[in-house]
Amino acid sequence: MSSRGALLFDLDGTLLDTADDLVAALNHVRQREGMTELDREPLRIHASSGARGLLKAGMPAPTSEAQQQGRVAAFLEYYAAHQLVYTRAYPGVLALLDFLGQEQIPWGIVTNKVEELTLPLLAELGWDQRTSCIVCGNTTAHSKPHPLPVATALARLTASAEHSWMIGDDIRDIESGRAAGCKTATAAWGYLGQGNTAEMLGADHILQQASDTPDLLSIDLTARQQAS
């Protein structure tokens, strides 16, 4: 078994701040039903919850499953065409990716965003050429918090779970990483979910900013030395 470790990252709320484009898709659905737009800021915490989570937070309850399906379809259609209006990498992320590339540290993206949205977004950013592993919400039979997406990423990177980290801003990231045998770190700059603090997610480590991420490699090295 490989002893090589890897860094695995969630996407929305960890590497990319996608909240404003996601809320814009919600407001598009509201406008279709004759409702006024909502302020984006209070809804940002729901950005990791996907289309259904944002619709639940920003729309009246649907009167039927057909109406809900129509809302989801309209949300996703709009979002697919407007993914990079407001979306930006978080501060320090681009420098972090440069560092990982220069040091040849294996890293991957494990997101619950579906391939149809993720792959074009990453291609537009050029990130598909920077990482050798992208696992999306529909790449495997299960999405996070199930361990399968993280386990799949580790297998593709030929990385050891024991020496790898799953980094994210949502409890599902932490649960998925832990269940797959990884160490876990919370991206404290992310969305975290309604009512949560970074501490409440229960990760092994809390990162206050993206530039702190290389410290995880030092933590792992120290742990290996102590175990030897």
| Catalytic residue selected from 12, 17, 169, 173 | 12
Report residue 109: phi and psi, to 5°. Answer: -115, 130
Report residue 199: phi and psi, to 5°. Answer: -65, -30
Residue 204 bears catalytic tag: no
Contact 38, 57 (CB under 8 A): no
Residue 10 bears catalytic tag: yes
CA 81 to each of CA 21, 24, 25, 54: distance values in angstroms, whole numbers, following the listed order: 10, 11, 10, 18
> Strand order of the sheet with strand 7-9?
134-135, 107-110, 7-9, 165-168, 183-187, 205-207
Within 10 Å of residue 206's Cβ, how many Cβ atoms? Answer: 14
Active site residues: 10, 12
